[in-house]
Amino acid sequence: MTLGYAQLLDQAQARSALNLRVKTLLVESLGLDVRPEHIGDDQPLFGRGLELDSLDTLEIVVMFEEHLGVSISDDDRAAFGSVNRLVDFVVADLGEIPRVEALA
Amino acid sequence: MSTATLDARTPGDLGGLLDFEADDIRGLLPHRWPMLLVDRAYNVSPGRSGYGIKNVTINEPFFQGHYPDQSIMPGVFIVEAMAQLVAVVYASAWVLEARAASQRADGDGDGAGTAARVGYLGAIRQMKFSRLVVPGDQLTLHAELGKKFGALTPVNVQASVGKELVAKGSLTVTERSAGGGNGLQ
């Protein structure tokens, strides 16, 4: 299936909006001292990146269940690489890019 | 009573509710006076949820200084009591698992050693205090464990005196691995 230009643009915008929504959720739920738009899509979440730790991981798990209806299990640790990885996981789990407007 | 209660149960039956008296709780937790803050646990669904009671008396050591002229149970002690109930909830599941395993292996393991596995408070994720706790109050604690992630478990907790809510919030607790450490990575 090939997507038309309008569909591609729509998908890209939905994905971009979702990435920003996830960044905002991260900043709010973890109390990060950084503006959401300043977090890079591929910036590492742990170590030198956003300097998150294992307790923050659990915070993200709980937050994703509450706000996105997605359950991350212990086997899905690879999803914590970056914002893009997290959003990839959400999209794969839901089978589509959720519309930010429809999220809690 | 817990030993009796646990013995009476079919090993591996995680569906039933258990009760624990103070002496049983000392067998599950490493805490001792003056820091053992759960007098009784009841309706415990191992690994899932449970209720606890903490009777608050003027003899509590912390009232000596908190405060000299007004006795108020410190909020962090209420949180500690909640966390200890959480430990009872998950340690009781370990005892049942150990019982079931030892029966399968035809051994005589008694599930001892849960105290050494009880972890630490990882985070007070959110907590709100809505009523003072003073001598004579009976704290009713409630804990509901969330889905475990690695060595970390999120848990929703609540404390009340009678029908009045005292504190409500959510914690993260850790489980110590067999190899030591504090459960954090």
Q: At what angle do helices A54-68 and A5-30 cross, to 10 degrees?
A: 130
As a whole number, mean pLDDT of residues B94-108 equals 77
Instruction: Give the structural domain span for A23.
Output: 5-102
B66 is catalytic: yes
The pTM is what? 0.85
Domains along chain B with CATH numbers: 2-175 (3.10.129.10)
- Say what the pLDDT of residue B9 is: 44
B65, pLDDT greater than 70: yes
Residues in CB range of A101: below 8 A, 6 or more apart: none
- Say what the pLDDT of residue A103 is: 77
Give residue B146's identity as a one-letter amino acid code.
G
User: Which pLDDT tens digit goes with each residue over B7-21?
Assistant: 444 434 445 899 999
Q: List the structure tokens of A76.
A: 């899905």
Q: Using the beta-carbon criterion (under 8 Å), do B122 and A61 form an inter-chain contact? A: no
Q: Using the beta-carbon criterion (under 8 Å), do B123 and A53 form an inter-chain contact? A: no
Confidence of residue B32 (pLDDT cuts 50, 70, 90): very high
Q: Which of residues 15-74 of A touch B (CB under 8 A)?
A: 53-55, 57-59, 61-62, 71-74
Q: Using the beta-carbon criterion (under 8 Å), do B146 and A62 form an inter-chain contact? A: yes
- Say what the pLDDT of residue A104 is: 60
- Say what the pLDDT of residue B106 is: 57
CATH number, domain containing residue A72? 1.10.1200.10
Total domains in the fold of chain A = 1
Instruction: Give every residue of chain A whose pLDDT is below 50, as ranges.
Output: none
Helix (H, G, I), strand (E, B) or coil at B121: strand
Q: Which of A46, A58, A72, A75 best probes binding to B when mutated, by most B CB atoms within 10 angstroms?
A: A58
- Say what the pLDDT of residue B10 is: 42
Both ends of chain A: CA-CA distance in Å? Answer: 31
